[in-house]
Structure 1
Amino acid sequence: MDNKLEDIAAQIKFDILTPTQDVDNEKLIEEVSRSFISDTITVPTKEMYAYAVRTSVGDDVYHEPSMLALEAHMAKIAGKEAAMFIPSGTMSNQLALRTHLQQPPYSVICDVRGHINKYEAGGTSFHSGAHLICVNPSNGHHLTLEDIQDYVVEGSDIHTSPTRVISLENTLNGTIMPQHEAVAICNYAHQLDIRTHLDGARLWHVAAETRTPMHELCAPFDSVSLCFSKGLGAPVGSCLVGSKQFIAKARWFRKLFGGGMRQTGILAGAAAYALTYNFPQLPYVHTLTKELEDGLVELGAKIISPAETCMLFYDPAPIGVTYQEIAHRASELARPIAVGGSRLVVHIQTSPEAIADLLGVIRTLKEEKAREGVNRLVDTMNGVRLNGTNGCPNCGKGAKQLASSSFNIYAKPPKKSA
């Protein structure tokens, strides 16, 4: 290597590992085990890495063997003809919608709380030029056929944007959509030549909780997006499943969207490991989530959305505590806990001790608030006793009588005579 090349090489080289990398990683794993922010924060284990690095090293554009094997397996378990690996769940949903939508004008019906509406940066309108029709579930839990029928646009009125896709989500906010409702909606849609898509990022949880095979859950839909990097704990990726014709067209859009990748064998390996070793852990995740919910109910918090799978939504206002107070106090523990607002998510790497510690934080705050309330009452009553009218011109007599009684909230009741 000549001197000039050595200089350039010296400028380019970079060691990404820190001197304390192993310690840093252990600290991160500890933080993940005590975070209720999301299940996307799970980290690949050493065992997952060891399995993944043994996969093939081909180029996915030229049909990488390990990825082909994963896609074939995903198509099989979903009961579909074909599957395609995609870098993210958002891209998977957007590719599905873009592939289904043929000729504008068109509209897509979805749950107002759905990921494609709230958390994909307006991608449906940007990528597909489609109008989103967002529907509130009348039961507060899941969309029904009756909810959707009122919003379907059909016919030849040129003033309208005809419905071309109905997109559902299961789970949504951790709750399970009844399968009979999904079947009814999809059957209705297909009668009107409307395509159906399922955002099944966490559909694994439904299969684990209801003991329903994946192919049955996917059967009513024309396409389904399945995520590896949420509940299953893989580092990257989702799979889009559907018919051979649908997936073949979606591959064009994946390239157009910038989702084509090269040596993806290691990602396929991580996903395969997650399917084999992490999926069986989901029932235990659900058990922990239910324990967390039971603890919150016992403390008096309000449950906004129940713990049907891996998450719940709660409100601590009934016990006089705020989300901010909980987050702050939890972050100050010797072993900190991370929480956001109303959503609490449990995952395969959540520590059971973290659940007990979080409930302990909320219990302590509740007790402190109760003591503060007692102290305020004492101060108020003492103020009445000392000031007589306590500033109230209309209640002087009663206040003076109360003051003269030398009221003491801590006084023991008099003993009853024999």
Structure 2
Amino acid sequence: MVLTLQQIADQVKLDVLTADPVKDNAAKLIEISRTFISDTVTVPSKGMLEYAAQATQGDDVYFEPATAALEEHIAKLTGKEAGLFMTSGSASNQIALRTHLKQPPYSIIADHRAHIHKYEAGGAAFHSGATVIAIVPSNHHHLTLADVQENAVITTDTHFAPTELVALENTLNGTILPQKEAIAICDWAHSQGMKTHLDGARIWHVAVETGKSISELCEPFDSVSLCFSKGLGAPIGSCLVGTKEFITRAKWFRKLFGGGMRQTGYLAASAAYALTHNFPQLPRVHALARRVEAGLEKIGAKISSRAETCMIFYDPAPIGVNYDEIAERASKLAHPLVLGGSRLVIHIQTSEEAVDDFLSIVRELAGEKKAAGFTPPTAQENGAYRDVYVRRPQKTN
């Protein structure tokens, strides 16, 4: 059967807009302002979209001016020689690992909570054939030089995969890796002929909180991954930085992994807007996170990991409440709160009203439990370390 062009065109065409996109997007923005599961849920502001619409329109496989300018800027900002725009932090991390690691056998040292170990679908094993030595920090906060030295594999014994890379993360679950420790670990790793990589997806938060420049924070590492969507509110994108030789090789792996990109100017412009306009909002984010922490403590909840930057981990068990009860009550609000369990993430589009509503729910539930006869423990170990955070299954409808 031969179809007319119009018949084929009718089969091909698609309209993805809702019946009332302005109304629906406004409603979505309210939902995002009340979502505590991640800082990746943020959406481009009107100003970001208007700025991005004016971006250059080159093909990045050949040359894209706005993207090249972003890569050059991030390289300069981090004190590295070159940068490479990536679609995501996972892609940036995994390509960094593959670029550093040349020929198995080898192992990677990382914190047992690290994103490259827990949340990148086993990419280190799949892409690089690497074993990850996942370490539980002895101080229950961050990896130390002693932790790394104790677990590094330095041997010619063929039973073991020698350590060739130390991968650190800053922030990790919202906590800050002390710069003194980062320097000590990297210096020692380099003295042993190892490479070092930093998953600096939220390094922006560290700079704001410590007053250290991005270049100082990145200086000890051979490569660094920085994210534009986590914390900064860009729709997509990360940047990998390192030496020119490293980035040239990384570009090959980006292509090999299916990551050659085309008209990325819009995304690069969105990242540039985020750096310029959204980065300065992070102090407010940190202040709001500390407000959540203080409110929870006042109610009597246990703080498992403090609000050093944009995240708080808490446990409501000391007040007789569980996460499901909080989520259930939150879902019945006129404008529901979106919660994910023990981890609360504050972002640039989190509203103060959402924070007030969340604390009110926890306070109400605590009062109800007390009225029903629940007796709180006599002492709480606030500030204690938590290995993992509790994820609540997210509804798909």
Return the TM-score normalized by structure 1.
0.88
Q: Which amino acid aligns with 2:302?
A: K
Deviation at 1:374, TM superposition (A): 7.4
- Cα deviations across residues 148-175 of structure 1 (Å, max 9, x unaligned)? 1011111322221110000000000100
Deviations along 1:131-162, whole A, 9 cap, x unmatched? 11000001110000001101111132222111
Write the mapping of 1:241-260 to structure 2, written as runs, cut at 5 A: 241-260=241-260
Amino acid of the structure 2 residue aligned with 1:247: I
- Percent identity over paired residues: 63
What's the counterpart of residue 341 of structure 1? 341
Aligned to 2:186: 186
Counterpart residue type for residue 205 of structure 1: H
Pair 1:311 & 2:311 matched: yes
Give the SS at the match of 2:6.
Answer: helix
**Aligned twin of 1:398:** none
Deviations 1:329-383 (A, max 9, x none): 01111121111110000000000111011000001001111111179xxxxxxxx
TM score, norm. by length of structure 2: 0.93
1:84-129 deviation per Cα after TM superposition (whole angstroms, max 9, x unaligned): 0000100100000000001110000000010011100000000000
What amino acid is aligned across from residue 301 of structure 1 in structure 2?
A: A
Q: How many angstroms apart in 2 are the aligned matches of 1:3 and 1:197?
A: 56
Map of 2:387 onto structure 1: none
Partner of 2:196: 196
Residue equivalent to 1:404: none
Deviation by residue 1:51-95 (Cα, 9 ceiling, x = unmatched): 001010010001111100000000000000000000010010000
Contact 2:320 2:374 (8 Å CA) reproduced: no
Provide the rounded CA distance (Å) in 2 between the counterparts of 1:161 and 1:37: 37
Partners of 2:89 and 2:212 in 1: CA distance: 22
> 1:63–1:316: structure 2 CA closer, same or farther, 3 Å change rule?
same
Q: Structure 2: which amino acid aligns with 1:232? A: L
Give the structure 2 partner of residue 140 of structure 1. 140
Deviation >4 Å, runs of 4+: none
CA distance in 2 between partners of 1:132 and 1:155 (Å): 16
Instruction: Give runs of aligned pairs for residues 6-405 of structure 1, distance below 5 A.
Output: 6-373=6-373
For residue 20 of structure 1, report the CA deviation from its aligned partner. 1.3
> Secondary structure, in 3 states, of the residue corresponding to 2:41?
coil
Letter in 2 for 1:71: E
Q: Please say which structure displays the higher CA radius of gyration.
A: 1
Rounded to whole Å, the distance in 2 between the matches of 1:357 and 1:16 is 34
Give CA deviations for 1:182-218 in whole Å, capped at 9, x if unaligned: 0000000000010000000000000011111000000
State the secondary structure of the residue aligned to 1:62: coil
Instruction: Report SS of the residue matched to 2:224.
Output: strand
Please state whether the residue corresponding to 1:61 is helix, strand or coil. coil
Q: Secondary structure at the match of 2:157?
A: coil
- For the residues of structure 2 that align with 1:282 and 1:64, how far apart are their CA atoms? 30
* Distance (Å, rounded) in 2 between the aligned partners of 1:155 and 1:365: 56
Q: Return the alpha-carbon distance in structure 2 between the equivalents of residues 10 and 319 of structure 1.
A: 60
Q: Which residue of 2 aligns with 1:384?
A: none
Distance 1:224 1:93 in 2: 8
Distance 1:251 1:372, change over 3 A: same
Distance 1:325 1:340 in 2: 12
Q: Aligned partner of 1:235: which letter?
A: P
- CA distance, structure 2, for counterparts of residue 14 and residue 158 of structure 1: 58
**Cα deviations across residues 292-316 of structure 1 (Å, max 9, x unaligned)?**
0000000000000000000010000
SS of the residue 2:373 aligns to: helix
AA aligned opposite 1:101: L
- Unaligned runs of 5+ residues in structure 1 are 376-418
**How many residues end up aligned between the 2 structures?**
374
Q: Which amino acid aligns with 1:337?
A: L
* In 1: Cα distance, 2:156 partner to 2:309 partner: 43
Counterpart Cα distance in 2 of 1:280 and 1:342: 27
Distance 2:16 2:75 in 1: 37
CA distance in 2, matches of 1:64, 1:126: 31
Secondary structure at the aligned position of 2:359 is classed as: helix
Identify the residue that residue 388 of structure 1 maps to in structure 2: none
* SS of aligned partner of 1:140: coil
The aligned residue for residue 391 of structure 1 is none
The one-letter code sitting in structure 2 at the alignment partner of 1:99 is T
Q: Per-residue displacement from partner, 1:247-270 (whole Å, max 9, x unpaired)?
A: 000000000011111000000000
Determine which structure has the larger helix proportion and give its number: 1
How far did residue 3 of structure 1 move? 7.5
Residue 4 of structure 2: SS of its match in structure 1? helix
Q: RMSD between aligned alpha carbons?
A: 1.2
